[in-house]
Amino acid sequence: MKNKFLFSCLLGGILISSCNPTKYLAEGEKMYTGGDVEIHHDSMKVENKEAFETFLEDALLPKPNSKILGVYYKVGLWNMGGGPDSSTNFFRRWLKRNGQEPVKLSDVNREYNENLLRGKMENLGFFNARVASDTLIDGKYASVKYDAYPGKVYRINSVKFDVDTMTDLGWRINYPSDRTLLKPGSNYNLDVILNERDRIDNDLKLNGFYYFSPDNILVEVDSTIGNHKVDMFVTVKPETPEKARHPQYIGNVYIFPDYKETSGTARRRIPRNTEKFEDKYYIVDPERKYRKKVLANHIFVQPKDKYSRWSHNQTINHLVNLNAFKFVKNDFVDSPDSLNHLDVYYYLTPLEKRSIRLELIGKTAAVYNGTEVTANWTLRNAFKGFETLTASVFGGYETQTGGNVNLNSSYIRYGAEVGITWPRLLSPWKWAPARQYIPKTFLKAGYEFLNRRTAYTLNSMTLNYGYAWKENNQRDHNLTLAEIIYVQPRGISDEYKAQMDTVPTLRHIVDPQFSFGPNYVYTFTNTMENNKKHTFYAKAGLNTSGNILGLIQGADFNSGKVKKLFGTAYSQFIKAEADMRHYMKLTANSTLASRIMIGTSYSYGNSRSLPYLKQYYTGGPNGLRAFRARSVGPGSSLPENIGEDNFFADQTGDFKLELNTEYRAKIAGMLHWAAFIDAGNVWLQNQDDDKPGGKLSGAFLSELAVGGGVGLRLDLDFLILRTDFAIPFRVPYRPKDDRWVFKYIDIRERDWRRENLVFNLAIGYPF
């Protein structure tokens, strides 16, 4: 209570101080609120003009003070700290350090900004640009308006590569010249010219020219040909060093995998008895901490080959991603033995072989609170081949702290997991995906004990063995050759058994579960390409269990021929699901994000439906946000909330459809907001008398639950805190002609808010 009072006082003080940000300004001084650029160009499209104005405004200096919702909150902190007062009070110094002094009009150099804007426009081809400015005064505040007159843009008329094609350097620069970024007809653009120099340099680096630099390229521009056009001439500067004009070759390669960062160490001291491994590499590892063959597989630089930036970067990337070295450094030095050759030195400083990490997590939601602690132990380079061995133990507790319905959320949970990862594919077949990334083989085994206190206990065991690899920067693959899940219930309470008789769905939660089989997941994403207007994310998976064994044994659940393995009936199913997302950048600060999730399955032979752990559900902070987790469906069946002190049966199904769309926009600084609409449901494969309306039918679209709302997001760069307020628009378990509930919405009514307004607090975006 005391902390809340202090926080309220601090927040109130900030708001009050922010209301008068000019409090400490000297007489006659004005607070600078920013610059506004207006483009005067009749033939420019409105959307292009707005983007151009935003681009120019971002270049203006100084930047105005930060604000959120019109409040200069950082100036408020500075004012609370005493403003210009040089007090030594710790709290005041802390406030000022985290605040901002008001930016004054006298800090603005209009002439400098005019030249800056003119230069920006000239760099984009507007060679005859003009800029005028004026100061606008509003009481104690002031802004500056800049009127920009770009004039007519200059375009590229022709591009000529003025190089000697009889030399290695000239031939490589000139061929093939159609790859140039300088295209006739395009606008003159300084950034494109700089990118063209980088393109030429990168191509040369891929082909041996280690000492070449983008600064060695000169692009001459002739703007005197008339008609607002320019001719361009690409050439090599005469002062380019001789070494930069010739390709370099790889000489000796030295690898120090146990390098210590100590002063005075002779970095290139090679023991006399060091021999080449496979006639390629000198691996200096006198204590034999690493298997040389495995280490050599991650070195792409080959003696006698031309230097290649690709091989250089690939080697560094692999060594970094082996999860064994704290620092990875390399040197290329002129070889003393031959001309135009480079000796290569790799200095690899190992990470600590063993490490322990302790994690403590606090969990909170509308009606429950809990905590969980996890201890992780890691052994690196476990068997001298860069294997990573991990072991973890965890324990957690969660209890209901409010609400009218017992959500059956109180539990004690603990367990352990052991795993090992190999940085290669352990396979009897020669199967090698793209070597650009390190493929991995994984083996994990885990055990978990879950005690639902007054309900039941579950013992769960899992085993996973498979491969993970990247095809390229956009495509990931995960193939689990063997996934085994075994869940055995124990200690089912009499109270829970009585509820199972009333609500048979509860029985499914405590059924023994045994599934085994391979699964595969494919992921595609290009969302990291920020320059694109449309980006996508797609994830598709296929999961199977017991199919071959069930066919061999002739399993048939419907005929009572339920087969067992190790004394337990096993599941037999095929399950496929897809998650597809589309992100459309509307402006620099707003995005429309959309998602469709489809889940389907077919249980047969030894099973009538998916096991509980494999079934689909919807609702919650990352799904249908207007409905609580696992509270929707299947189909039009009514959720079974049974009594204040009884149990809540999770609503799950064998099929799923979910649709989401969300508008995201920046308010100011790190504060963002969103408006969203979600729709979805789950359905059963077979008719269940205890879930009338739960089976998938042709009328499934009429059974979609729909909800929407608004929320705030706090983007802290390293994480995103998200709050959502949502209400239902369409409730599938209401009568068929009365499922849209807009007419019942009454925000002012307390009972309606308690039953329909759902608040979600989460970390990260929902999709």
Alpha helices in 354-493 (DSSP H): none
Please list, in sequence order, all residues whose beta carbon lies within 8 angstroms of the beta carbon of residue 741, skipping any fewer than 6 positions away: 728, 729, 730, 731, 734
Torsion of CA 634, 635, 637, 639, to 10 degrees: 50
**Which residue has tokens 């939660």?**
509
The β-bridge partners of 727 are: 708
CA separation for the pair 655, 653 (Å, rounded): 6
Rounded CA separation 314/434 (Å): 12
DSSP state of 508: H
Q: What's the average pLDDT block by block, 10 residues per block, for the chain (767 residues)? A: 45 55 89 95 87 93 85 86 79 83 94 97 94 95 96 95 92 85 95 96 96 96 94 96 96 93 60 85 93 95 96 96 94 92 95 93 64 95 96 88 52 94 89 84 96 87 96 94 94 84 79 93 94 94 94 89 89 96 92 97 93 91 89 86 54 95 89 95 91 91 95 88 94 93 90 89 89
| Integer Cα distance of 766 and 299 in angstroms | 40
- Residue given tokens 């320059």 in the structure block: 531
Helix, strand, coil percentages, rounded to 5, for the chain = 20, 40, 40
How crowded is residue 433: how many other Cβ atoms within 10 Å of its Cβ? Answer: 14
Instruction: Judge whether 635 and 691 are in contact, CB under 8 Å.
Output: yes
Position 643 scores a pLDDT of 47
Q: Classify burial at 496, counting beta carbons within 10 Å of its beta carbon; exposed 0-12, middle 13-18, buried 19 or more.
A: buried
pLDDT at site 268: 63
Q: Which residues contact 85 (CB under 8 A, 6 or more apart)?
A: 92
For 664, residues 6+ apart whose C-beta sits below 8 A from its C-beta are 590, 591, 592, 593, 672, 673, 674, 713, 765
Distance between CA atoms of 120 and 109, rounded to whole angstroms?
A: 17
Residue 366 token pair: 């509308």
Please work out, in degrees rounded to the nearest 5, the angle formed at the alpha carbon of residue 591 by the alpha carbons of 586 and 596.
120
Query: What pTM value is reported for the model?
Result: 0.80
DSSP class of residue 532?
-
Distances (CA, A) of 424 to 117, 333, 466: 53, 31, 11
Contact (Cβ atoms closer than 8 angstroms) between residue 458 and residue 488: yes
**Cβ neighbours for 239, distance < 8 A, ≥ 6 positions apart:** none
- The whole-angstrom separation of Cα 319 and Cα 336 is 27
Phi then psi for residue 63, to 5 deg, are: -80, 140
Cα 55 to Cα 37: distance, rounded to the nearest angstrom: 9
Residues 690-728 pLDDT 10s? 889 999 999 999 999 999 999 999 988 778 999 999 999
pLDDT at 625: 93
Name the helix (H) or strand (E) containing 47: helix 46-57
- Residue 4 has a pLDDT of 43
**CB-count burial class (<10 Å; 0-12, 13-18, 19+) for 85:** exposed
The pLDDT of residue 648: 60
Compute how many other C-beta atoms are within 10 angstroms of the C-beta atom of residue 88: 6
Residue 425 is predicted with a pLDDT of 92
State the Cα–Cα distance between residues 198 and 212, nearest whole angstrom: 11
Rounded Cα distance, 752 and 656, in Å: 29
Kindly report whether the peptide bond that precedes residue 184 is cis, defined as omega within 30 degrees of 0. Answer: no
Q: Do the Cβ atoms of 480 and 522 come closer than 8 Å?
A: no
Instruction: Give residue 315's identity as a one-letter amino acid code.
Output: T
Number of other residues whose CB lies within 10 A of the CB of residue 460: 16
* Token pair for 56: 């120019």
Q: CA end-to-end span of the chain, whole Å? A: 36
What is the CA 555 to chain-centroid distance, rounded? 44
- Residue 79, both tokens: 């004012």
pLDDT of residue 5: 45
Q: Which two tokens stand for residue 106?
A: 């006298």
Element (H, E) at 483: strand 475-490
pLDDT (0 to 100) of residue 67: 80
* Helix or strand holding residue 171 (H, E): helix 168-174
The answer to whether 440 and 478 have CB atoms below 8 angstroms apart is: no
